[in-house]
């Protein structure tokens, strides 16, 4: 190589060095592979942590106990049945509440209930729903027994006594309380509270059909179906008794 050419090469190398353009060191294939594996492991670790966090949150949600409906049996005191004059249940309830307030017995006589239920009745051919007493002549009292409590209840106007022995009234069991006050029992699908149909019809009673092809025909009741709110009426057609099924509202008493 000529001297001039060597000097030219050295000059170009010197200019590159003076300009600071030093080429970066290239990573070896091993270093590239290790870096890629590190990133992959980090991503997997993050996914595992996220999954474990979700699972833990899910377990916490599953561990949370469901709220159970409160049972009136678990309230303070015990439930007793008080006998009253029939038709005076609400009046006795009001009298007893006044006595509790006047004698400051609220910490011992906790609750007074007249059990009610919805009843379907037919009035003037129309179906109506009314509230009626479940046990006419009785009411429930939740109290903490003591001589003062017994005396206050017995002395209330309209009260004739307790259910049970005269000296020691009998408290209701859990099943009785929850059944009367319509409480769902754990683990058992309690039947939905349903209306109890009430009607004024009787078997073999003569009635008049109000509507339909046999309107104004008389007949007598052969069958009463309270579940379906229907009656089967025997109608005299051409000298033969023909059964006709009708709703309560389609017939009227004579």
pLDDT along the chain (254 residues), means of 10: 46 45 47 46 48 51 62 94 91 95 95 87 76 88 93 92 80 90 50 55 90 87 85 86 88 86
pLDDT at 56: 54
| Number of neighbours of residue 5 by Cβ within 10 angstroms | 9
* CB-based contact 86:137 (threshold 8 Å): yes
pLDDT of residue 184: 42
Packing angle, helices 147-154 and 89-102, rounded to 10: 140
Q: How many CB atoms lie within 10 A of CB 118?
A: 12
Q: Where are the domains of the chain?
A: 72-197, 199-253
Number of CB atoms found within 10 A of residue 88's CB: 17
The whole-number pLDDT of residue 190 equals: 41
Would you state the pLDDT for residue 17? 44
Residue 238, pLDDT score: 73
Domain 199-253 has CATH 3.90.550.10: no
CATH 3.40.80.10 fits 72-197, yes or no: no
């Amino acid at each position: 190589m000529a001297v001039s050419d060597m000097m030219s090469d050295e000059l170009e190398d010197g200019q590159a060095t003076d300009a600071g353009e030093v080429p970066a060191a290239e990573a070896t294939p091993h270093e590239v592979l290790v870096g890629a594996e590190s990133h992959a492991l980090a991503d997997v670790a993050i996914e595992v942590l996220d999954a474990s966090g979700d699972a833990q949150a899910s377990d916490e949600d599953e561990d949370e106990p469901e709220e159970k409906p409160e049972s009136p049996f678990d309230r303070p005191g015990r439930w007793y049945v008080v006998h009253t004059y029939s038709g005076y249940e609400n009046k006795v309830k009001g009298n007893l509440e006044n006595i509790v307030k006047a004698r400051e017995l609220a910490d011992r006589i906790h609750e007074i209930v007249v059990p009610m239920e919805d009843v379907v009745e037919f009035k003037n051919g129309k179906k109506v729903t009314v509230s009626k007493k479940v046990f006419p002549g009785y009411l429930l009292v939740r109290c903490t027994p003591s001589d003062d409590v017994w005396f206050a209840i017995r002395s209330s106007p309209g009260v004739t006594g307790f259910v049970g022995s005269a000296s020691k009234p009998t408290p209701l069991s859990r099943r009785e309380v929850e059944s009367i006050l319509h409480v769902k029992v754990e683990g058992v699908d309690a039947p939905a509270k349903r209306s109890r149909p009430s009607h004024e019809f009787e078997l073999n009673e003569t009635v008049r059909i109000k509507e339909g092809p046999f309107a104004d025909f008389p007949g007598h009741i052969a069958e009463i179906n309270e579940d379906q709110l229907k009656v089967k009426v025997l109608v005299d057609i051409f000298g033969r008794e023909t059964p006709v099924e009708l709703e309560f509202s389609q017939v009227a008493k004579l």
